[in-house]
């Protein structure tokens, strides 16, 4: 984690997703991994340790990717671009467009792909929640569902993450709690 913070002080661009992934691993994946022994694996869980730790790591990555997608405008104003340079180049998006906050069609398509990838990590994380100690499941579900909704809000904002901060309102937040509770007690049944 300290290595990640050190990196963030020096590095303002990421050449590709591998480099970005490593940064996310340092600053957020490690938090997920450290949370597992604190939260505890359920004694009745039949999953391997590897499965649970992979899910926890995935939640850290998903959260950090979501953060990066949400904060593109704010980071740009500080001269920082976390999005992978090679992917920006193949989408034909210049740094200048990012600094100007241009919500073009190519930006929307590019964002759709970034959102899709973040959601894949949330999906991966979901597989591990049921393996945690009972008392840990609800808060993890709640944070997962709330953070994941930021991606929905970016879509609702028509991919303007430059000047509109994707914010999940209080009503939506409260509405997510029973859902999180349901998932925590039922596992990932299709009813919740
Ligand atoms: C799923 C299983 C099996 C376990 C759960 C494991 C957990 C709790 C994972 C979550 C890890 C986590 C909370 C990572 C932090 C990621 C993150 C988005 C940090 C944001 O930090 P800042 O950059 O300070 O946020 P702001 O930009 O909002 O200030």
- Cα–Cα distance, 77 to 180 (Å, whole number): 35
pLDDT at 128: 96
pLDDT at 167: 87
- Cα–Cα distance, 145 to 141 (Å, whole number): 6
pLDDT at 35: 98
67, 128 contact by CB (below 8 A):
no
- Cα–Cα distance, 160 to 182 (Å, whole number): 33
Distance 191 CA to ligand 1 centre (A): 27
Ligand 1 atom with the shortest distance to the CA of 71: 27
pLDDT at 153: 97
Ligand 1 atom with the shortest distance to the CA of 58: 1
pLDDT at 188: 52
Distance 28 CA to ligand 1 centre (A): 6
pLDDT at 190: 46
Distance 48 CA to ligand 1 centre (A): 23
- Which domains are present in the chain? 2-186 (1.10.600.10)
Distance 106 CA to ligand 1 centre (A): 29
Pocket flag, ligand 1, residue 60 (CB < 6 Å): yes
pLDDT at 192: 53
- Average pLDDT, 10 consecutive residues per value, the chain (192 residues): 90 96 98 98 95 98 98 96 98 97 98 98 97 95 96 98 92 89 74 52
Q: How many CB atoms lie within 10 A of CB 115?
A: 20
Pocket flag, ligand 1, residue 28 (CB < 6 Å): yes
Pocket flag, ligand 1, residue 115 (CB < 6 Å): no
- Cα–Cα distance, 73 to 155 (Å, whole number): 15
Specify the pTM: 0.94
Distance 192 CA to ligand 1 centre (A): 23
């Amino acid at each position: 984690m300290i290595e990640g913070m050190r990196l963030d002080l020096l590095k303002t661009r990421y050449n590709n997703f591998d480099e970005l992934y490593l940064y996310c691993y340092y600053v957020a994946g490690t938090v997920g991994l450290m949370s597992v022994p604190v939260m505890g694996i359920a004694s009745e869980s039949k999953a391997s340790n590897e499965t649970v730790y992979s899910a926890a790591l995935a939640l850290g990555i998903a959260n950090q990717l979501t953060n990066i997608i949400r904060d593109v405008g704010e980071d740009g104003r500080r001269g920082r671009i976390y999005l992978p340079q090679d992917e920006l180049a193949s989408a034909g998006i210049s740094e200048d467009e990012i600094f100007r906050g241009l919500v073009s069609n190519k930006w929307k398509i590019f964002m759709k792909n970034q959102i899709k990838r973040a959601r894949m990590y949330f999906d991966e994380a979901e597989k591990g929640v049921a393996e945690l100690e009972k008392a840990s499941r609800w808060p993890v579900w709640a944070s997962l569902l709330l953070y994941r909704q930021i991606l929905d809000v970016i879509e609702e904002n028509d991919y303007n993450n430059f000047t509109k901060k994707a914010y999940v309102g209080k009503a939506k937040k409260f509405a997510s709690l029973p859902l999180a509770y349901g998932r925590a007690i039922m596992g990932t049944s299709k009813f919740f």
